Amino acid sequence: MSSPLVLVLNGPNLNLLGTREPEIYGRTTLADIEAQVRSVAHGHGLAIDFRQSNMEGELVGWIQEARNSAQGIIINAGAYTHTSIALLDALKAVGLPAIEVHLSNIFHREPFRHTSYPAQAAVGIIAGFGALSYELAVAAMAKLLKQREA
């Protein structure tokens, strides 16, 4: 039996982690986060497809593709969190369990960041724990998928 696949999507500017506003996002790079996610996922018996794009349409396309290949989605939509109805619609359309993740606590930041469109299709949100937010999301997804199997 193969491991359940979880798509981990990262939106715009997350490729700059480690150097972009380290006082907010820390010095951990996206490659560091990917390695942590893969390690934690392995411990939970999950396979990971980890991707990043600065383009909204590409993220939407990957979500749609996940309908036929993945069992869950973890998404840090970056700035698209606050603007993208297209990501919301895609997440709703595929019907997979989704967890939204953020490095910073978006509710302790500028008011425009308090709105999250993907959250409306997500099982839950994990935010404010830096890179650990991703690890917590993987653990939560593993639990969700096990509950669905039972």
Question: Which class is 5-143 in CATH?
Answer: alpha beta
Can you give the residue ranges of every domain in the chain?
5-143
Residues annotated catalytic, as ranges = 25, 102
Angle made by CA atoms 131, 133, 135, in degrees to the nearest 5: 85
Extract the runs of DSSP E, i.e. beta strands, from 28-91. 47-52, 72-76
pLDDT at residue number 22: 77
DSSP per residue over 120-147, as a string? GG-SEEEESSTTHHHHHHHHHHHHHHHH
The model's pTM = 0.93
Tell me the average pLDDT of the chain: 93
Q: Which residue has the higher pLDDT, 86 or 113?
A: 86
Distance of CA 137 to the CA centre of its chain: 8
pLDDT at residue number 109: 65
Known binding residues for substrate are 76, 82, 89, 103-104, 113
Tens of pLDDT, residue by residue over 16-65, are 988 887 777 778 999 999 999 999 999 999 999 999 999 999 999 999 99
Q: Alpha helix locations (H) across 46-127?
A: 56-66, 85-94
The answer to whether residue 114 scores a pLDDT higher than 70 is no
Q: How far apart are CA 58 and CA 64, in angstroms?
A: 10
Known binding residues are 76, 82, 89, 103-104, 113
